[in-house]
Amino acid sequence: MIKKQFSLIAVMMSLLTTFSVLAEQEKLKISGFGTLASATADTRTYQFRTDRSQAEAAKKDGLAFKPLSLIGLQIDYSFSANLDFVGQFVYREQDEQNLDSIAQMAFLRYDITPSWQVRAGRLAADIFHFSDTRDVSIAYPWVKVPTEVYGIVPARSFDGADISYLKPYRDFNLLIKTFWGQGESDYTRNDYSPVIFNDLRSVGIELASFDWSVAFKHTRIEAENDNADIAFVTSGVEQLQPFWSGATAFADSLSLRGASIQYTSVYLNRFLGDWEVSGELSHIDSDSIALRDSLNGFLNISYFYGAHTFYGLVSFSKTDTYYLSEEQPGFPINANTAELAVYVEEVASTLAHYQHSLSLGWRWDVKENLAFKVQVERTDIEARGGGLRARDGLVVDSGDDVAHTLFLALSFSF
């Protein structure tokens, strides 16, 4: 239903924009961005992928271009001094390719006053600092945004509206923004099985100056459904009710259906001459075992030398390991339920990531709109914590491991 509604809106906006362009082409601005990147890892067990929406991964003995390469087109059209339309369309690796899936943004923006602004339509999921530029690699020093923070949430945009207030002070600007909307995320598997999210409400406060900024964002959302894997396991648990009185309640706690999810993040950065220090810390929690308490973050130090940027990046994702026998001692584990018990632990572990990475990189700004990047990354992965990486088999069967990944990228805008 969401797709049909949005597709209709997108088509109407495209027609409106096209007709307007014929009349007043000077009001139209078309720009774009892209990344041509390759990645290779030294392991077949824990293969690299950009985020959990991707089936394509980089592994040993080969270069993979699909996880990071993309092309984007942005359309800006001004109807008046106060009203304009913004559309951003990004073609990249994902399970489903159509107009709806490549449309990252398509919204109307209205300036009520110089301080108050309203936007409505498809907007970037404003839960991260780099929400608007997540796929625009030329906008940040790294080849990709840190996987431990950004790779967990595949959703890039939601349909809804936001209102923002901007207040300039002597030494900094204050920005307050709220958003309401709905959308979906695809946690990739063999077939397209998105989780739909309703009633997304977020609030953000940002203080920004010439050489520093700090931002706080909090988001609350409700999941409408389970993906196919979670639905299969919860159905199996419910059938244990005749043998275990707690089966139905436990199945409900495993489900994402109706679960309330909270996402909170803090970002800061500071420029010190030729140096920049930046970092983001986020916390995810819900009332479903499938998405348990998780702490994630990164810290970056960059050094600028002319057209060159050298950087070091430390990032982590931590969720406690889940063992069914400890969390649910009453669960009847026997020969008939052993396989189901493994699948229960798989549901509790698939979105529970536990790893940390150290990355070193070099960015060379060849031209104002062209940058070449090299990044080497070492990732230490804890047992049952490797869900951010692509691998064969169940996450619950995985052990400790170390993966090294090399990235080469050309980022550009036009």
Q: What gap in Å lies between CA 121 and CA 43, rounded to an integer?
A: 42
53 and 91 in contact (C-beta within 8 Å)? no
What is the per-residue pLDDT for 285? 93
Question: Among candidates 106, 84, 102, which has minimal Cα distance to 93?
Answer: 102
What is the average pLDDT value for the chain, to the nearest integer? 90
Average pLDDT over residues 355-383: 97
Query: What are the DSSP E strand ranges found in 169-293?
Result: 173-185, 195-208, 212-223, 260-272, 275-286
Contacts of 396 (CB under 8 A, 6+ apart): 342, 345, 346, 349, 384
Query: On the CB side of 166, how many CA atoms lie within 13 Å of its CA?
Result: 13
Does residue 297 register a pLDDT over 50?
A: yes
SS (H, E, C) 31-46: EEEEEEEEEEECCCCC
Average pLDDT over residues 401-407: 95
- Phi then psi dihedrals of residue 23, to 5 deg: -80, -40
Question: Could you tell me the pLDDT band of residue 16, with boundaries at 50, 70 and 90?
Answer: low
Instruction: Report the percent of the chain where pLDDT is more than 70.
Output: 93
Lookup result for tokens 């991707």: 54
Does residue 331 register a pLDDT over 50?
A: yes
- Phi then psi dihedrals of residue 147, to 5 deg: -60, -35
Q: For the whole model, what pTM was predicted?
A: 0.87
What is the per-residue pLDDT for 348? 93
Min mean pLDDT across 210-214, 233-237, 348-352 is at 348-352
